[in-house]
Every structure is written in C-alpha cells, then in structure tokens.
Amino acid sequence: MKIYHGSTQIVEVSEIRVTKFNKDFYFGFYCTTIVEQAERWATRFGNGYINIYEYTPNPDLIIKVFPEMSEEWMDFIAACRSGKSHAYDIVEGPMANDTIFNYVQDFLDGKLNREQFWELAKFKKPTHQISFHTQKALETLQFLKGDIVYE
C-alpha cells in the first residue's frame, strides 16, 4: 500500500523525532493515505515535498487502529497530547487537526461535554494518519520517491 509523508524535504530514511509538542499519537513518523492531506503538510511553510513510501504490514508488530473518531480515539489522543506514551509500534486513525484538537482541549478543560464535542466534530472532513513509533515499525516502509509540491 502506498502512503505519503508531507515535509519541507525529501525523506528517504524515515525516523522518529522527539519534538517540542506531543502529537496525536505521541512521538512518531507520521504518514497518510490521503494525498491532499500530505500536500497540506508539505506546504505549511512554503513549497515542500510529498514523500511516497510502500508500506508492507508486519503481523508481528503491535498495531492500534481507530477506524473512526470514537470515545476511545478521543481519550487516546488526549492522553498522547498530554505527554503519555504507549506501547504500540504503529497507530492508525483519524487526525485531530487544530480545530478538532481545540474541541478535545475544550472537553478536557470542561468547556464542552462529550455530546457537544461529537456534535461539533461530525461536521469536519475525514482525515487519516498512520504513525510509526519503533524502529521495527519504520522497517515496514520502503521509500519510493519524493515529489515537489508548490504552495
């Protein structure tokens, strides 16, 4: 299966980077099956690149899949964004973009209840992310090519 990583550079060798801010599924190497989403990631700061990989699943890895936004998904993202790590090699599911994460934060802060969160979240367009959290997980990726994307 082809997956995409949007970046400011060509990334032939993927790696897990620990950054200043915790991500949806904690620190990892993030890709998507949605080309347009990878294009948005690539052009956040100007021109960028879509890196294309062949992903070959490894049944020996510990994988968590969220088929859709759910209570479990929301709680998992809230924990990861709060700095709690997990034991999964790969996590896949919808992305909590800035708008959705603001709703999650409002829920955590008691400004929204769960029902209000879901009412707001259901109107957002679908997103997808698959994050690789261990070296074994990264070994499931084979770099194919990088294409430039103009903002």
pTM for the whole structure: 0.87
Domain membership flag for residue 15: yes
Domain membership flag for residue 48: no
Domain membership flag for residue 47: no
Phi, psi of 105 (to 5 degrees): -65, -40
Please spell the DSSP secondary structure of the chain, one letter per residue: -EEEEEESS--SS------SS--TTSSSEEEBS-HHHHHHHHTTTSSEEEEEEEE---TTS-EEE-SS--HHHHHHHHHHHTT-----SEEEE----HHHHHHHHHHHTTSS-HHHHHHHHTTSPP--EEEE-SHHHHTTEEEEEEEEE--
Total number of residues shown for the chain? 151
More confidently predicted of 145 and 71: 145
CB of 22 within 8 A of CB of 70?
no
Domain membership flag for residue 40: no
Domain membership flag for residue 97: yes
Please count the structural domains in the chain: 1
Domain coverage including residue 122? 10-31+57-139
Domain membership flag for residue 110: yes
pLDDT, one tens digit per residue, over 26-55 is: 999 999 999 999 999 999 899 999 999 999
Identity (one letter) of the amino acid at 111? K
pLDDT, one tens digit per residue, over 5-27 is: 999 999 999 999 888 788 889 99
Domain membership flag for residue 45: no
Per cent of the chain over pLDDT 90 is 65
pLDDT, one tens digit per residue, over 78-92 is: 899 889 999 999 999
More confidently predicted of 70 and 143: 143
Domain membership flag for residue 117: yes
CB of 8 within 8 A of CB of 38?
no
What is the C-alpha separation between 60 and 66, in angstroms, rounded? Answer: 19
